[in-house]
Amino acid sequence: MSTELITQLGYVVASGLFIFGLKMLGSPATARRGNMFSALGMLVAIVAALLDQGIVDFTWIVAGMLVGGAIGAVAARAVAMTSMPEMVALFNGLGGAASLLVGWSALSPDSGTITLVTIVLSILIGGVTLTGSLIAYGKLSEKIGSGAITFSGQQIVNSLVVIGILGGAVMFCLNPTDPNWLYLVIGLALLFGIMAVIPIGGADMPVVISLLNSYSGLAACAAGFAINNNALIVAGSLVGASGIILTQIMCKAMNRSLSNVLFSGFASVSNEETVVEGEIKPITADDAYYVLEAATNVAIIPGYGMAVAQAQHVVKELTELLEKNGCEVNFGIHPVAGRMPGHMNVLLAEADVPYDQLLEMDEINPRMETVDVAIVIGANDVVNPAAREVESSPIYGMPVINVADARTVFVLKRSMASGFAGIENPLFYKENTRMLFGDAKESIATLVREFS
Amino acid sequence: MSGAEYLLFILMLSIFLGFELINKVPATLHTPLMSGANAVSGITVVGAISLAGTGSETMAMWLGVGAVTLASINVVGGYLVTDRMLGFFKKKEG
């Protein structure tokens, strides 16, 4: 059997393991083993690649793998779960950069036209993914302002960049020996990544990292075409599909189209004043304790504010005390709660909340009428009844968790400032809503002390 | 069947398969799904290996070495952090 054949069979086995691993991610009970199968697939693919007869010198391969592996291992251990969105954003960028380099490096004087086209594609997608992800990382980690950056003539500049990319790409395919066209395409792709992400506001970042996740897969896919490699195409398209599905879910959860997210910052949506009736009714932690002690069914609706206050561990303590008191406790998690898809679930899982207590929006909403107390912690827009009731609201039509259907609603909030999207929330003025002002972590810690 | 059309065939099948599989991943696992996808997109390392091993000390080789390094960060970091996260997910006892 030739080594070429062994390598190809290795790729087949690896692809099978990736697919199997992804299938096992369908349930939290098997997900961890699924991830290991996927990692095993990667190992098989790497060993198969190392058998390549064309390799004369392993020194730099091993050096690169050791350095990269060490950086990856340290990052994976050190990262805090609240910072997962930043890490995923950064890793998307690295994936894009790797595909850009592979495409570039695959360029040889005897490349045919089809190969040249795929090389350009992998450089383009990889470049856009790289700088787009770096900007997303900067916004998420607040190293640069998280707001939408817009300026007049932005559309024109972007159009010129796109035309430049198309022109440069065509010229490069016609004159592959002139590196200047290649440099132009690389430069413009990097510029376009920046231009594409700066006008997108902080609240839309979950959509953007999902989309960049998809791009990093598509870039690997394009690189696979450039170097004729099946493993890259299969794995890349799986990642591409995953990112696209998550992007769709996020857009649906915000009731916005993808083009609306990409091309108009939330800020530009007309902020009509909603006339809110009723008054704010504050409650003290003491009184809140008496209500909770009598409750038999409590729903907790967390938002990113819970993670900012680092309140998830005290929330878990409160959950245990309530359960000891004979109360049923569930968590209602909105798809865009947190800063990336599923972020809240990971933060709560880290605080030892069992995953069967984490309910999706569509599961918790029908039960809301039987809930005695709904506790909203650091969430705002995802529980805003204006989305259902106020047609002029910018978030009208967005699916929300209907906390107002519960008998009593406690809203834990630092002050009366409005949420990430800057939209007034009529929930705070509802008849059955009580505001528990103060730091979420301290408020809950007070409740925990009252119980014990 | 050979060349580009064969690769396109594979592309089409994997995209459909990807959609089917990922639609079944529950929302609670979407963050590990994304970090796992980061790791899988590190597959570029496989393509970069042969480009980095030519021993020719040309620019193409150095680009390949760069790609091996970056993709290795993705592979190792992605799988480890996903494993760490999935380790948190526990079923209610009893």
pLDDT at A321 over 90: yes
Query: Is the CB of residue B63 less than 8 Å away from at least one CB of chain A?
Result: yes
**Closest partner residue to A31 among B23, B69, B86, by Cβ?**
B86
The string of DSSP codes covering A309-324 is TT-HHHHHHHHHHHHH
Residue range A172-178: mean pLDDT, rounded: 88
Query: Is the CB of residue B94 less than 8 Å away from at least one CB of chain A?
Result: no
pLDDT at A273 over 80: no
Which of A71, A105, A108 to mutate against chain B (most B CBs within 10 Å)?
Answer: A105
Computed over every residue of chain A, the mean pLDDT equals 89
pLDDT at A421 over 80: no
Name every chain B residue with its beta carbon within 8 A of the beta carbon of A86.
none
For the record, the structure tokens of B73 come out as 């960060």
Name every chain B residue with its beta carbon within 8 A of the beta carbon of A319.
none
Q: Between A419 and B80, whose confidence is greater?
A: B80
- pLDDT at position A403, please? 92
Name every chain A residue with its beta carbon within 8 A of the beta carbon of B33.
25, 242, 246, 341-342
Give the Cα separation of A442 and A420 in Å (integer).
22
Catalytic site residue A381?
Answer: yes
Give the Cα separation of A388 and A365 in Å (integer).
13
Q: Which residues contact A202 (CB under 8 A, 6 or more apart)?
A: A139, A146, A147, A420
Candidates A341, A347, A332; CA nearest to A301 is: A332
Name every chain A residue with its beta carbon within 8 A of the beta carbon of B9.
none
Query: Distance (Å) from the C-alpha of residue B94 to the closest C-alpha of chain A?
Result: 11
ipTM computed for the complex: 0.94
CB contact under 8 A, B34 and A242: yes
Element (H, E) at B14: helix B4-23
Residue range A19-35: mean pLDDT, rounded: 95
**CB-CB contact of A17 with A44 (8 Å):** yes
Residue range A120-144: mean pLDDT, rounded: 93
Query: Distance (Å) from the C-alpha of residue A278 to the closest C-alpha of chain B?
Result: 36
Residue range A279-303: mean pLDDT, rounded: 90
**CB-CB contact of A22 with B22 (8 Å):** yes
Give the Cα separation of A448 and A426 in Å (integer).
29
pLDDT at A143 over 90: no
Give the Cα separation of A374 and A330 in Å (integer).
10
A407-to-A238, A389, A400, A421, B28 alpha-carbon distances in Å:
44, 19, 17, 27, 27
Residue range A162-173: mean pLDDT, rounded: 93
CB contact under 8 A, A76 and B80: yes
CB contact under 8 A, B7 and A61: no
Interface of A with B in 94-133 (CB under 8 A): 94-95, 97-99, 101-102, 104-108, 114
CB contact under 8 A, A64 and B52: yes
pLDDT at A145 over 90: no
**Chain B: residue whose CA lies nearest to A361:** B27
- pLDDT at position A271, please? 47
Candidates A218, A98, A110, A71; CA nearest to B52 is: A98
CB contact under 8 A, B60 and A224: no
Among A110, A286, A287, A381, which one carries the catalytic annotation?
A381
- pLDDT at position A68, please? 97
Name every chain B residue with its beta carbon within 8 A of the beta carbon of A32.
83, 86-87, 89
**Strands A358-360 and A408-413, sheet pairing:** unpaired
- Tens of pLDDT, residue by residue over B8-67, are 898 999 999 999 999 999 999 999 999 999 999 999 999 999 888 887 878 889 999 999
CB contact under 8 A, A233 and B7: yes
Nearest 5°: phi and psi at A8? -60, -40
Residues of chain A with pLDDT > 90, as a percent, come to 62
A183-to-A147, A162, B61 alpha-carbon distances in Å:
31, 15, 18
Helix%, strand%, coil% for chain A, nearest 5: 65, 5, 30
CB contact under 8 A, B68 and A229: no
Interface of A with B in 28-57 (CB under 8 A): 28-29, 31-32, 35-36, 38-39, 42, 45-46, 48-50, 52, 54-57
Name every chain A residue with its beta carbon within 8 A of the beta carbon of B26.
26-28, 360
Name every chain A residue with its beta carbon within 8 A of the beta carbon of B70.
68, 94-95, 97-98, 101
Q: Which residues pair with A301 in a beta bridge?
A: A376
Query: Distance (Å) from the C-alpha of residue B28 to the closest C-alpha of chain A?
Result: 5
CB contact under 8 A, A345 and B7: no
Query: Distance (Å) from the C-alpha of residue A325 to the closest C-alpha of chain B?
Result: 17
